[in-house]
Amino acid sequence: MKYLIFIITAVLLFSCSKERVIKVKTINKVTGAPMPHVTIYIIEQFTNNKPNKTVFDGETDSNGDLIIDLKFKNNGKYIIYQAQVENSCWHNEKSVFLEYKENNNVTFEFAPCAQLKLKIDNVNCQGIGDKFVLYRKNQIGSIDGNFAWEHDGCAFWETNGYSNVPMGKKYYRWEVTRSGNTTTYYDTIYLQEGEQKLYEINY
């Protein structure tokens, strides 16, 4: 009878957990290259006052890959998240809920930093009626400041030092209005990881 109870208990315990495979990929969003040695954590969340528990921590390899075998409890809730990568100015997800019923593929994307300084000068000013409007966007989809910058009259403007920005392409569009006529200009620049650049618009 004791053996029967032991067997039933073992079966119940086994049925209450499922082993799943989690495949993690960490990449540079701009170049597609792997981002190696990113620290990855998995925590188990609890609905009561019991503190969350870290059930895994490890690093992606030189190819930005990490394969994790983890036993999921039937009622367990698990979150995978990445530690902030040094010199990264953007990432797609900080944390992801893991699915109990299936294996999981998780990709964390990053964009390393460059430094940019902006200088704007109305070198052909005709007076207070001049208007300048600037829009900026980068290739990973985020818009710097999420608004247009407007300068009226004989404007001269320069950012206070260099700002950390995601590496990659930056798209510029600006509108210059003089004597009631508006002309639109476009430009694209590329910033390498760690590059420091001064970008000037003389209009």
Q: What is the pLDDT of residues 63-84, one digit of tens each?
A: 999 999 999 887 789 999 998 8
Q: How confident is the model at residue 6 (pLDDT cuts 50, 70, 90)?
A: very low
Same-domain check for residues 100 and 145: no
Radius of gyration of the chain (CA): 26
Domain endpoint, select from 66, 91, 112: 112
Average pLDDT score over residue span 55-65:
96
Same-domain check for residues 120 and 96: no
188-200 burial by CB neighbour count: b if 16+ within 10 A, else e?
eeebebeeebebe
Q: Residue 162 pairs with which residues in a beta bridge?
A: none
| pTM of the model as a whole | 0.79
Domain endpoint, select from 112, 128, 144: 112
Same-domain check for residues 98 and 134: no
Domain tally for the chain?
2
The angle formed by the CA atoms of residues 8, 13 and 14, to the nearest 5 degrees, is 100
Q: What is the pLDDT of residues 89-98, one digit of tens each?
A: 998 877 899 9
Task: CATH number of the domain at 179, please.
Answer: 2.60.40
Q: pLDDT at position 9, please?
A: 44
Residue 188 has pLDDT above 60, yes or no: yes
What are residue 70's phi and psi, to 5 degrees? -140, 135
Q: pLDDT at position 5, please?
A: 46
| C-alpha span between 27 and 60 (Å, rounded) | 10
Same-domain check for residues 185 and 105: no
Residue 181 tokens, joined: 């006529």
Q: What domain range is 175 assigned to?
A: 114-202
Q: pLDDT at position 114, please?
A: 96
Q: Are 8 and 40 in contact (CB under 8 A)?
A: no
Same-domain check for residues 102 and 83: yes
Same-domain check for residues 58 and 135: no
Same-domain check for residues 89 and 125: no
Same-domain check for residues 108 and 24: yes
